[in-house]
């Protein structure tokens, strides 16, 4: 999986890293049970601070996307039934984004179409 | 419009304020041409720092949601055709969120249904 960090972006580097790992899993580049690199190796590889990678791994763990296993390191968790608290958290993030799309002039149908097209991107057979 | 700030939330206060203003516009509580309170009055009303309100207003202006007019203050902008750069920015925010919903075990249909239900919430006649 190729991670691209944009140091010029408004989005914090650890968020970029977190998002790209999640998108990699959604695309099937990373599978449940796969290990992520060690914090040290990943930081060196990406040219970022170890603290940044560490923060990203802890964020992913908190959201139930990876498990951090002593000695083995960070491993992609198996998809389970989504928990209510995860569903609520996602809802709280979708809501302002959808509001913004509507406020900026997208129609209901355009928002639905945008979402469908992103879902399709992730569903392409590899 | 009622703004509720949760000081315990992981979401920064200026982001909570920004999101709630956007959602208020999407629901039709705030209409194009309506004025937002002055930074000073709003900060006092919410019990937050003036800097926080100011940061939120500038974020809303940057995204094309309000205009800051000398002497008049912050005014809700008219919805226009969404710009390509706004569409790209929204896309970049929808993508990791949709990826996460899928990774956490939601089906394509559940994600589409979640989005539709949020759109419906905003489309209720007042």
**pLDDT value of residue A72:** 83
ipTM of the complex: 0.89
Both tokens of B17, joined, read: 């304020």
Burial B42-66 (b: 16+ CB within 10 A, else e): bbeebebeeebbbbbbebbeebbbb
Residue of A nearest to B20 (CA): A96
Both tokens of B107, joined, read: 């089906």
**B16/B23 Cα distance (integer angstroms):** 10
- Which residues of chain A register pLDDT less than 50? none
Q: Which of A18, A79, A98 to mutate to test the interface with B (most CBs of B within 10 A)?
A: A98
Per the listing, tokens 């590899």 go with A126
Confidence band of B76 (pLDDT split at 50, 70, 90): very high
**A112/A108 Cα distance (integer angstroms):** 6
Strands A66-69 and B66-69: unpaired
Contact status, residue B103 vs residue A66, Cβ threshold 8 Å: no
To the nearest whole Å, the CA of B114 is away from the closest chain A CA by 8
Reported pTM: 0.86
Q: Which of B4, B119, B120 to mutate to test the interface with A (most CBs of A within 10 A)?
A: B119
- H/E element holding A76? strand A73-76
- H/E element holding A46? helix A39-46
Confidence band of B126 (pLDDT split at 50, 70, 90): low
On the 0-12 / 13-18 / 19+ scale of CB atoms within 10 A, B15 is middle
Q: B118 and A98 in contact by Cβ < 8 A?
A: yes
Per the listing, tokens 């004025």 go with B35
Specify the 3-state DSSP secondary structure of B38: coil
**pLDDT mean across residues, chain B:** 92
Q: B94 and A81 in contact by Cβ < 8 A?
A: no
- Residues A45-64: tens digit of each pLDDT: 999 999 999 999 999 999 99
């Amino acid at each position: 999986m190729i991670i691209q960090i944009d140091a010029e972006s408004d989005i914090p580097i650890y968020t970029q890293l977190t998002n790209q790992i999640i998108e990699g899993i959604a695309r099937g580049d990373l599978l449940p049970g796969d290990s992520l690199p060690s914090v040290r190796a990943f930081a060196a590889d990406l040219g970022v601070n170890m603290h940044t990678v560490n923060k990203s791994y802890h964020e992913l763990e908190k959201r139930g996307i990876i498990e951090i296993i002593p000695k083995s390191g960070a491993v992609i968790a198996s998809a389970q039934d989504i928990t209510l608290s995860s569903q609520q958290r996602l809802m709280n993030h979708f809501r302002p984004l959808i509001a913004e799309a509507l406020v900026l002039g997208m129609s209901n149908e355009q928002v639905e179409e945008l979402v469908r097209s992103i879902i399709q991107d992730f569903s392409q057979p590899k």
